Structure 1
Amino acid sequence: MAAALRSEASQDNIAGPSPNILLADCGLFEPAPPAEGWLDRRIARGTRDFLQFPAMRPGEIERAFAVGLDLAVECASQGIRRAAAALVGKGASLTADVSACVHTGLPVEKIVDETSGVGGTTLYARRQAVGKPLFYYDLAANDPPRALEYLGGYESAALVGFIIGCAAESIAVTLDGWPALSGALWAAQWAPASRPFLRIAAPLSVSGYPPVRELLGSAPVLAQAECRLPGAAGLRALCAHAS
């Protein structure tokens, strides 16, 4: 999970110092070398394949949730008032598609189409992969812990903990990208009080975006061009517009 954080002192100065950039490793298969802003929060060497087993083993959902919650508490202790979050994971987009289907009630074909960046036989395979857990696991939007345990990944559960923890500390969280946006649906369902603190970074071109945006009840804070600013400039834009 990636997070850009801005303190109260610098939140109104978009041209000021870059926000603090943190990357929380919740479960890479191999540990990454130490680097500035890199947090080793690995729970295991990746989740299991949710097409064959529930992604998380017993107890892992609680540990992943705690990663995000602890990060939110640490942010509050440092005077952070705005944050932007994104998810990076091998199956993050696939999990996002399943989550969107569960929450919107729309069929897979309405969520996974050519706007997902795939076509032909690849599109067919993607739809099959999204449809399988929906059929076998009887996932329910009103039971986030069980659903996340079956779907994974660790970064998605950590995001849920981060959002809920930030809301408790009155920290606004701007969601960057489809996996983060769809993953936030679980936090909004689990803790409805977190909804007012959620922001959407920029409009997305995927077909699942409009219904998910409607469920979250939030409008984009940036135009797509702003969100594509390189490196720290883009992250400054996200944090500066998060209020």
Structure 2
Amino acid sequence: MTPYWLQQPVKAIDADAQQAAQQRQGQLTKPPGSLGQLESLAIQLAGLQANVSPVIEQCWIAVFAADHGIAHQGVSAFPQIVTTEMVRNFARGGAAISVLAAEQHARLEVVNVGTAHDPGELPGVVEQRIGEGTADFSQQPAMTPEQAEQALAAGRDSVQRAQDAGSQLYIGGEMGIANTTSAAALGCVLLQQPARQLVGPGTGLDDSGVRHKAAVIDAAIARHAVSADQPLEVLRHFGGFEIAALSGAFIHAAQCGLPVLVDGFICSVAALIAERLLPGSKQWFIYSHRSAEPGHRAILEALEAKPLLDLGMRLGEGSGAAVALSLLRHACALHNGMATFEEAAVSNKGAGDE
């Protein structure tokens, strides 16, 4: 049974604010369309924020951490203890996302939804451990129905904290050894594609390791025989606690009207699950970058997404989205700060010429 809060509607986008922002773009001292995606970003944000002059001063970054039982099948180049060690690294400020959050003056929280090892009490880490990692989905469903609901709710709670803090943008990130295996399996079922189409190196597998990873996923999908039109069951059978939390966060953000800047492969899979669970959620998503993980392209196509950057990144943690945050801020600054032709006393005759 779908939790009641997942059935609440998506907030409508303000079409009037979006139209007014588009009209303003046509009056600014530049040839129409000359700022490319920066123009469409500003217009999109105006509709999402219901504000002709959108701003992103307060950004909330939440990194969800959890382990995966599928790691026991040798699908990752690193042991599970790394997840816990990275949670400690986040708390110390030594991880990539820690540096980027500080650089962007964004609020960073880490939510431990299920590491295999207890990292202890740490500053800036919210403890919501559902279990010591998921079950091995090659043998049994990754989560019980109760665990899946708890994980989704952990994401909802994070968005509520972001809302209470007055955040204008939400970025979700993840950390979990073997979570690219989980994400690839989810993508394979939802898109009805074989594993070889979506599987990549993750933490650094060689070609043999990638082939083994694909074989494990294909066998698990055959074993469970879950239908793509049952997204909650797909998530329960193949997902991770952190992926479910991201999906729950993205859904609640869409319900609350909080724009989401989506990170790479794993976060995009969570976004696809969110859209399948609550259609219309994706209109609140902006896609930060195209990951180097091979499966990301197919997921983006399913979401009809146009990512802002392609830097060959595949770290996760929300790092690609944190980098792209600057583009959103530049888009707002240009939209709000540039003079119109009338204000600048510049003739707009022939403004469309290069």
The equivalent residue for 1:156 is 243
Query: Counterparts of 2:189 and 2:324 in 1: how far apart (Å)?
Result: 28
Higher CA-based Rg: 2
Residues 191, 228 of structure 2: 8 Å contact kept: no
Give the letter for the 1:237 counterpart. V
Query: Counterparts of 2:56 and 2:286 in 1: how far apart (Å)?
Result: 20
Query: Counterparts of 1:235 and 1:141 in 2: how far apart (Å)?
Result: 28
Residue 114 of structure 2 aligns to a residue whose secondary structure is: coil
Which residue, 134, 144, 163 being the options, matches 1:57?
144
The equivalent residue for 2:57 is 10
Residues 154, 245 of structure 2: 8 Å contact kept: yes
Give per-residue Cα distances to partners, 1:101-141, cap 9 Å, x unaligned: 12222222222257995344322211111112211112223
Residues 261, 321 of structure 2: 8 Å contact kept: no
1:76-115, aligned counterparts within 5 Å? 76-112=163-199
How far the C-alpha of 1:206 sits from its partner, in A, is 2.8
Residues 196, 211 of structure 2: 8 Å contact kept: no
Which residue, 163, 188, 193 being the options, matches 2:275?
188
The sequence identity of aligned pairs, in percent, is 24
Residues 93, 179 of structure 1: 8 Å contact kept: yes
TM-score, length-scaled by structure 2: 0.59
Query: Counterparts of 1:22 and 1:85 in 2: how far apart (Å)?
Result: 10
The equivalent residue for 2:350 is none
Residues 102, 140 of structure 1: 8 Å contact kept: yes
The equivalent residue for 1:132 is 219
Bigger Cα displacement from structure 2, 61-70 vs 233-242:
233-242
Which residue, 111, 123, 126 being the options, matches 1:24?
111
Residues 84, 239 of structure 1: 8 Å contact kept: no
Aligned pair in 2 of structure 1 residues 135, 20: CA closer, same or farther (>3 Å)?
same
The equivalent residue for 2:131 is 44
Query: Counterparts of 2:105 and 2:164 in 1: how far apart (Å)?
Result: 19
Give per-residue Cα distances to partners, 1:213-237, cap 9 Å, x unaligned: 1111221123428x79xx9997653
Aligned pair in 2 of structure 1 residues 9, 101: CA closer, same or farther (>3 Å)?
closer
Query: Counterparts of 2:319 and 2:294 in 1: how far apart (Å)?
Result: 28
Aligned pair in 2 of structure 1 residues 69, 11: CA closer, same or farther (>3 Å)?
closer
Residues 134, 143 of structure 2: 8 Å contact kept: yes
Query: Counterparts of 1:103 and 1:126 in 2: how far apart (Å)?
Result: 18
Q: Does 1:237 align with 2:284?
A: no
Gaps of 5+ in 2: 1-54, 60-100, 330-354
Query: Counterparts of 2:102 and 2:152 in 1: how far apart (Å)?
Result: 33
Aligned pair in 2 of structure 1 residues 238, 36: CA closer, same or farther (>3 Å)?
farther
Residues 271, 282 of structure 2: 8 Å contact kept: no
Residue 87 of structure 1 aligns to a residue whose secondary structure is: strand
Residue 22 of structure 1 aligns to a residue whose secondary structure is: strand
Which residue, 247, 262, 265 being the options, matches 1:175?
262
Residues 64, 157 of structure 1: 8 Å contact kept: yes
The equivalent residue for 1:4 is none
Query: Counterparts of 1:27 and 1:109 in 2: how far apart (Å)?
Result: 28
Query: Counterparts of 2:209 and 2:217 in 1: how far apart (Å)?
Result: 12
Gaps of 5+ in 1: 1-7
Aligned pair in 2 of structure 1 residues 238, 35: CA closer, same or farther (>3 Å)?
farther
Query: Counterparts of 1:215 and 1:232 in 2: how far apart (Å)?
Result: 21
Residue 215 of structure 2 aligns to a residue whose secondary structure is: helix
